[in-house]
Amino acid sequence: MSRHCVGSISEIMPGSRKIVEIGGRSIGVYNVNGHYYAIRNLCPHQGAPLCLGITTSFVTSSGRGDFCFELEGEIVRCPWHFWEFEIKTGCMVVDPKTRTKTYEVTVERYDVTIDEEQLFIHV
Ligand code: FES
């Protein structure tokens, strides 16, 4: 199994992300609270570069004036029309059937890597 190094752990600190190009695909690699996740940098709505959107939280409310911030740093908001996706699953927050592709990320010593075989599996 071939693995592609996308950077070192010092490059992708908690709360940050790095966009890489592998095999013609643009992929965003995120560090969420010390765990690494990778999603395709392609919004399933109209093809925006999803990973250029801000990383945020999911806001819920039980009523007027009440706001609760959940999943802090686990949501990416598309820069074009603001659809929101969970970084861990690639699923759209309000419609989980809509998703962008995710890739398993492994840390080998100080390197963050993605299995290249995953790149060509369609979901
Ligand atoms: S292209 Fe991403 S929400 Fe429209």
All structural domains of the chain, each given as residue ranges with its CATH number in brackets, are 3-120 (2.102.10.10)
**If pLDDT is split at 50, 70 and 90, which confidence band does 2 have?**
confident
CA-nearest residue for atom 3, ligand 1, is 81
Q: What is the pTM of this model?
A: 0.90
Given the CA of residue 50, which atom of ligand 1 is nearest to it?
Answer: 2
- Looking at residue 122, its pLDDT comes to 60
For 41-94, the pLDDT digits (tens) are: 999 999 999 999 999 999 889 999 999 999 999 999 999 999 999 999 999 999
**Ligand 1 near 49 CB (within 6 A):** no
Average model confidence (pLDDT) across the chain: 93
| C-beta 78 within 6 A of ligand 1 | yes
Closest ligand 1 atom to Cα of 46: 1
Looking at residue 118, what is its pLDDT? 75
Residue partners of 103: CB distance under 8 A and separation at least 6: 27, 38, 39, 40, 114, 115, 118, 119
